[in-house]
Amino acid sequence: MMSKFILITGRTAKQGEALHKGKDSDEYRQATGFVEMSRPDRERLGVEEGRHVRVRTAFGEAELELRENDLPEGMIFVPMGPMANALIGSETRGTGMPDSKGLEAEVEPL
Amino acid sequence: MIGIINGEVYDPQNGINGQVRDIWIEDGKTVSGESVDRAGAEIIDASGLVVMPGGVDIHSHIVGAKVNAGRKFRPEDHRDHVRSRTAVTRSGSGYTVPSTFLTGYGYAEMGYTTVMEAATAPLVARHTHEELEDTPMLDKGAFITMGNNHFIMKCIRDGQREKARHYVAWLLGATKGYAIKIVNPGGVENWKWGQNVGELDDEVIGFGVTPRQIITTLAWINDELGLPHLPHIHGINLGQSGNARTTVETIEALEGRRAHFCHLQFLSYGGEPGKRVRSGAAELARAVNEHPNITVDVGQVIFGEATTMTSDGPLQYRLHRLTGNKWLNDDVEGETGGGVVPIQYKRSNPINAVQWLIGLELFLLIDDPWRVFLTTDHPNAGPFFCYPQVIKLLMDRDYRAEMLQGINRRARRSALLAELDREYSLYEIAIVTRAGTARSLGLQNKGHLGVGADADVTIYSKLDDKEAMFAKPHMVLKDGQIVVRDGRIVREHQGRTLYVAPPYDPGIEADLRTHFEECYTISFDNYPVAPEYLSRSEVIPCA
Amino acid sequence: MRVENVVCPFCGCLCDDIVAEVEDNRITAVKEVCSSGRSFFLNARTEATRPTVDGKEVEWPEGIDAAARILTDSACPLIYGLSSTASEAQRKAVALADVLGASIDTTSSVCHGPTTIGIQNQGEPTCTLGEIKHRADLVVFWGCNPAEAHMRHFARYSVSARGKLTPQGRRDRTVVVVDVRPTASSRKADFFLQVRPGSDYEVLTALRALLKDETLEVTEVGGVSVAQLADLLERMKGCRFGVIFFGMGVTQTGGKHLNIAELLALVAELNAYTRFTAMAMRGHGNVAGADCVLTWQTGYPFAVNFARGYPQYNPGEFTAVDMLGHQEADAALIIASDPIAHFPRRAADQLRRIPTIVLDPEVNLTTQEAQVVLPTAIYGVSAAGTAYRMDNVPLPLKKVVDSPQPTDEQVLDWIIERVKT
């Protein structure tokens, strides 16, 4: 079962802290390898927190640990990093800036 | 050892007016012809050519936070004015806001060898010095804005001008600055409240001091410290109709103390406040003529593109509202502010036409060329690339009359300029572009070719078209090295940053630390610019 | 040994009140830092590392040689990054690009590049951070989350900081957060306006319309009620000194630079009523410096190309994601940045395909895939230099510990010299 969402990416304190420990460190992987959604969305998806899900956009997909957070329904958040970048396209529409927020995404349980 | 022989020399500081003289150079300085061993000398035959000291620009906005913000937000200024790299030079772009390499090369190719950056906020002086390092060819210095400085205003309020004096001495050394710059004193602080000042005795919000007090205190400090230059003043009400009155009042407020008034054209407007601007040049010229303690630079308007950029925050906002052009504003904590707005000066525009007239009238009505200097307040009234055009306007009254025909008809009809016949001689041009500016700046080794001067020499072809003559010198030497031939750079050169370091009472540090805690968002210890930022420098002594 | 007034160069706050304890050339403790800053200083390495070429350790001359050869062999080299190195190195990078006829771009292009484009259209009423601390009684955070990304910003500059006209700190300010979702920052605000993703442009336009006393024929814009917008606008008009801090929430979505142009236009128009300013929340510690250096040396702040012998500027053409995504760059020199970690996959894949040189103190995802890795000293830790804060105030970075590694500036000098011969 797939649910459609709007994907937001961004910085977090933990990601900022972890990147100094090395981008191949466990801390960094944990700090950048998750996706957050609201409780009602998670329950509709039927996946427990801590389990992995597949997030897919028109540009790629990533397997991320699912977490709950205070988000509007229909929105997911992934911290900036290599996992988020698998989901972002390189088309910049002449600005240099790829579309990094507000992308359409699908989430399915693994 | 270099000998520039048989040239027609114009060295006004030494009274040489076109006589044929030889100039001898050794180790970057001019030396006496007598002590010279001519055998090994490189001889430059300047027969039939004009020889002058290198140009000294007393007021130009070329580096630092404000200038760079102007560059960044005007890519349209750069695209059509580019410079390709060569084996000896870097590339660059820009016309009214050229990149730093282009600035250095552009000035040098015009025969200028020393340029003063007109306004640097002390908090960001480090930025100015980084850019000066990337401005080749020229000797340079930076004026430090102080007219809206919180520490100074507090000292004035508390009747502690001795403390302010030590602060200014410390500040100049900490910022590696050259002179005291005053911009719309009190007005820029009031702009942080959305207001301005309009009279010399208006109050500065939160301090209760007045523009008059700020100016007279800083002029007193300038004298006490024996600084080589004079306090450099951008007066109140710049750009506003009727401001000639407050400009004259400001001159009188100095009560004989020496000062320099910059871009006087913008402060010489007659007419009623809020009404159509008229020329106040006659009034200002009379005031300058009657006050021998004052030097001025004109800030001549050039028709075409310009970029206004000053520390005068409220002025820049006004220009934005007036023109509708995009607007940068930057308020600097505890010190100053400023802004940038692009502008176009059009012949057909009645106001621009009057502005153009005023500048020329000032040049022609002020009697003493040692006290009136050639600038365009680059890039506020026009780009420095256009200085040769101004020289031609001053030297060639037919050309002037021709240009006059092309300006707005109403402005032309009542123009005083039409009656002014005077033509500047080469000697006078040498004064207003180098000998006089160097003297006002207190640079003893610049602006002349006497023994001991820095060997900055420009050799021009004698052309009837004075614009062409001054646009492309035959040769330029900097510190005794040939750097320009036929108007092009042949050798890159790193100039020196000139600054002052007057002594101060180290006991002031406790007050400074307290002030920093209260006022700034950076540490006192991180504020001063370390000497390492200046790869080549020279401390100019105070009296 | 105690070192005071250390500048933390990690983020655009450039806090310069850090105190470091150093023993045996190691930083053992840091005070006055946030958690990212602490991590930055305490994880800084000082042991000697040699360059590698194709994974094999080599001596420095060989590493420089290999780098120079890659660059001179390429037809369309790209120099990218620069946001976590000192201005002295940034200046060398531009010199190298000039000599090579290369493209040079900074992390601005995926961060506040749209802000620069907006400023080029519209201008920018701004100020230094001290003005905010002392005067601002209305502080708006639009599309940014300082509580996570600029963690001492509130305390040092914008929310709880105590200033001359704001002696009670937080109590003297109204804080508004505009974002698409609740964040750690919105939880600290007096008002939170939750906007629908991608609708910042409409919301900003609506505010401008209300400012011009237009009547809106709708009841909500972008998920925000017109009543809320009208209230926000009244607060903006009525404050003593206002500011909008803005971030990736408006540069990376929808209208991008058009969002920023609207925001800046609104701020400019508010100055008819009161003093109002805007400030971009610059992410990396010296990305503001990268903008400054490229601008003063070339005329343009990012997306610069020297192929014709003079600087050209074109975001969308010479920006790194485009040069890589369109497979135009055939060699890359990455300085103080990790694009393989931060670029869209397609652009990162091109970096994997082409010969890549990296100057960086750390092992990161880009160094792991590069042909030539030149490990350099860490700016602000083992290399002194200059960095520019988010409000463009330049600060002197200290060398707190020694390192056997050369600085970025030194390595770029070597490469320039080698390329020229």
Q: Are C328 and C355 in contact (CB under 8 A)?
A: no
Same domain for C364 and C264: no
Q: Would you call B542 an interface residue with chain C, using a CB distance cutoff of 8 Å?
A: no
What is the predicted ipTM?
0.97
Q: Give the pLDDT of residue B318.
A: 98
C-interface mutation test, from B61, B66, B68, B72, most C Cβ less than 10 A away: B72
Q: Which residues 38-97 on chain B approach chain C with CB closer than 8 angstroms?
A: 63, 65, 68-69, 71-75, 77-79, 82-85, 90-94, 97
Q: Could you tell me the pLDDT band of residue A27, with boundaries at 50, 70 and 90?
A: confident
Nearest Cα to B174, choosing from B526, B542, B538? B526
B523–C126 C-beta distance less than 8 A: no
Query: Which residue of B63, B192, B525 is in closest CB contact with C275?
Result: B192
Instruction: Give strand ranges (E) for B41-149.
Output: 42-45, 49-53, 55-60, 82-83, 92-93, 112-120, 139-145
How do strand B304-310 and strand B339-345 relate by DSSP bridges? antiparallel
Q: Would you call B334 an interface residue with chain C, using a CB distance cutoff of 8 Å?
A: yes
Same domain for C171 and C259: yes
Query: Which residue of C126, C129, C135 is in closest CB contact with B521?
Result: C129
Q: What percent of chain C has pLDDT over 90?
A: 97
Centre a 10 Å sphere on the Cβ of residue B63 and count the other Cβ atoms it contains.
26
Same domain for C185 and C209: yes
Residues composing chain A? 110
pLDDT value at C117 more than 90: yes
pLDDT in tens, B176-233: 999 999 999 999 999 999 999 999 999 999 999 999 999 999 999 999 999 999 999 9
Whether cis (ω within 30° of 0) applies to the bond prior to C344 is no
C98–B91 C-beta distance less than 8 A: yes
Gap from C320 CA to chain A (nearest CA, Å): 7
Question: What CATH number is associated with residue C302?
Answer: 3.40.50.740
Q: So where are chain A's domains?
A: 3-109
pLDDT value at C347 more than 60: yes
Q: Could you tell me the pLDDT band of residue A2, with boundaries at 50, 70 and 90?
A: low
pLDDT in tens, C52-104: 999 999 999 999 999 999 999 999 999 999 999 999 999 999 999 999 999 99
Given a contact as 3+ CB pairs under 8 Å, which chains touch C? Answer: A, B
Q: Give the pLDDT of residue A29.
A: 82
C4–B84 C-beta distance less than 8 A: no
Average pLDDT over residues B139-152: 98
Q: What percent of chain B has pLDDT over 90?
A: 97
Tokens 């450099």 belong to B232
**Domain end among C235, C257, C280:** C280
Same domain for C253 and C134: yes
CATH T-level topology, domain A3-109: Barwin-like endoglucanases (2.40.40)
Average model confidence (pLDDT) across chain B = 97
CA pair distance C413, C420, nearest whole angstrom: 11
Domains of chain B (ranges, CATH numbers):
51-445+453-498 (3.20.20.140)
Angle at A98 between CA A93 and CA A102, to 5 degrees: 105
CA pair distance B92, B73, nearest whole angstrom: 16
Query: Which residue of B127, B320, B520 is in closest CB contact with C292?
Result: B127
Helix (H) or strand (E) run with residue B18 in it: strand B16-26
pLDDT in tens, B7-32: 999 999 999 999 999 999 999 999 99
pTM metric for this prediction: 0.97
Helix (H) or strand (E) run with residue B353 in it: helix B350-365
Same domain for C260 and C306: no
C365–A82 C-beta distance less than 8 A: yes
Domain membership flag for residue C30? no
pLDDT in tens, B264-290: 999 999 999 889 899 999 999 999 999
Q: Could you tell me the pLDDT band of residue A12, with boundaries at 50, 70 and 90?
A: confident
- C297 contacts: CB under 8 Å, gap ≥ 6: B90, B92, B99, B100, B101, B134, C91, C94, C95
Which positions in chain A have a beta carbon within 8 angstroms of at least one beta carbon in chain C? 6, 8, 10-13, 16-18, 20-24, 59-60, 70-72, 75, 77, 80-82, 85-86, 88-102
B68–C386 C-beta distance less than 8 A: no
At residue A37, what are phi and psi to the nearest 5 degrees? -150, 170
Pick the range with the lowest mean pLDDT from A78-87, C285-294, C299-308. A78-87
**Domain end among C256, C280, C304:** C280
Q: Which residues in chain A have their CB less than 8 angstroms from residue C317's CB?
A: 94
Q: Which residues 391-410 on chain B approach chain C with CB closer than 8 angstroms?
A: none
B522–C395 C-beta distance less than 8 A: yes
B82–C311 C-beta distance less than 8 A: yes
Gap from A81 CA to chain C (nearest CA, Å): 6
Given a contact as 3+ CB pairs under 8 Å, which chains touch B? Answer: C
A94–C342 C-beta distance less than 8 A: no
Task: Return the exposure string of C212-234: e unless at least 16 CB atoms fall within 10 Å of the residue's CB, then b.
Answer: eeeeeeeeebbbbebebbeebbe
Domain membership flag for residue C394? no
Same domain for C194 and C121: yes
DSSP-derived letter for residue C406 is P
Tokens 């350790």 belong to C57
Q: Which residues in chain B have their CB less than 8 angstroms from residue C124's CB?
A: 69, 73, 328-329
Average pLDDT over residues A92-109: 90
Backbone dihedral region for residue C213 (phi beyond 0: left; psi -120 to 50: alpha; all else: beta): left
Backbone dihedral region for residue B194 (phi beyond 0: left; psi -120 to 50: alpha; all else: beta): left
Q: Would you call C249 an interface residue with chain A, using a CB distance cutoff of 8 Å?
A: yes
pLDDT in tens, C235-249: 999 999 999 999 999
Same domain for C360 and C404: yes
Domain membership flag for residue C346? yes
Q: Would you call C11 an interface residue with chain A, using a CB distance cutoff of 8 Å?
A: yes
Q: Does chain A touch chain B (at least 3 C-beta pairs within 8 Å)? A: no
Nearest Cα to B66, choosing from B468, B443, B339? B339
Same domain for C107 and C79: yes
How do strand C123-127 and strand B327-331 relate by DSSP bridges? parallel
Same domain for C322 and C406: yes
Query: Counting one residue from A and one from C, how many pairs have CB atoms under 8 Å apart?
Result: 158
Domain membership flag for residue C414? yes
Same domain for C412 and C307: yes
As a dihedral over the C-alpha atoms of residue B136, residue B137, residue B139, residue B141, rounded to 10 degrees, the angle is: -30
- 3-class SS of residue C285: coil
Nearest Cα to C290, choosing from C98, C87, C114? C87
Q: Would you call C113 an interface residue with chain A, using a CB distance cutoff of 8 Å?
A: yes
Q: Give the pLDDT of residue A22.
A: 77
Average pLDDT over residues B130-148: 98
Q: How many domains does chain C have?
A: 2
Q: Give the pLDDT of residue A1.
A: 56
Name the maximum alpha-carbon separation found in chain C: 70
Most confident of A30-39, B33-42, B484-493: B484-493
Q: Could you tell me the pLDDT band of residue A81, with boundaries at 50, 70 and 90?
A: confident
Domain residue limits at C146: 113-280
Q: Give the pLDDT of residue C46.
A: 83
Query: Which residue of C35, C197, C365 is in closest CB contact with A17?
Result: C35
Same domain for C255 and C226: yes
Gap from A70 CA to chain C (nearest CA, Å): 6
Q: Give the pLDDT of residue B279.
A: 96
Same domain for C336 and C201: no
Average pLDDT over residues B256-261: 97
Gap from A57 CA to chain C (nearest CA, Å): 12
Q: Would you call B520 an interface residue with chain C, using a CB distance cutoff of 8 Å?
A: yes
Question: What CATH number is associated with residue C166?
Answer: 3.40.228.10
Nearest Cα to B435, choosing from B369, B387, B362, B360? B369
CA pair distance B272, B239, nearest whole angstrom: 13
Q: Would you call B513 an interface residue with chain C, using a CB distance cutoff of 8 Å?
A: no
